[in-house]
Amino acid sequence: MPSPDHDWLLAFDEELWRVYALDHHIAGLDTVLLARYAHLSGAQAARQFAADHAVVPVDACAK
C-alpha cells in the first residue's frame, strides 16, 4: 500500500474539516488506516473514509 505524503494528508484533513468538522487525529486514524485510502486524492479519500464509517456531514446535523 502506498503511504500518504504530507500534501495528501493536508488535502485529506482539509476536506474532513470542511465537510465533517474533524481531522485524522480526531477520527483516530493512524498511518495504517490512512494508507488504505492513499490510492485516492486526499479529498476523495476523506469522502470515502466518511462513507465507509457513516460519518455525517456537519450541515446534515443542523437540519
Q: Please indicate whether residue 4 or residue 44 has the higher confidence score (pLDDT).
A: 44
What's the whole-model pTM score?
0.87
Altogether, the residues listed in the chain come to a count of: 63
What's residue 39's pLDDT?
94
Query: How would you write the chain as a 3-class SS string?
Result: CCCCCHHHHHHHHHHHHHHHCCCHHHHCCCHHHHHCCCCCCHHHHHHHHHHHCCCCCHHHHCC
What's residue 48's pLDDT?
98
What's residue 60's pLDDT?
67
Contacts of 7 (CB under 8 A, 6+ apart): 42
Half-sphere exposure of 6 (CA within 13 A, CB side): 0
Tens-place pLDDT, residues 6-62: 999 999 999 999 999 999 999 999 999 999 999 999 999 999 999 999 999 988 665
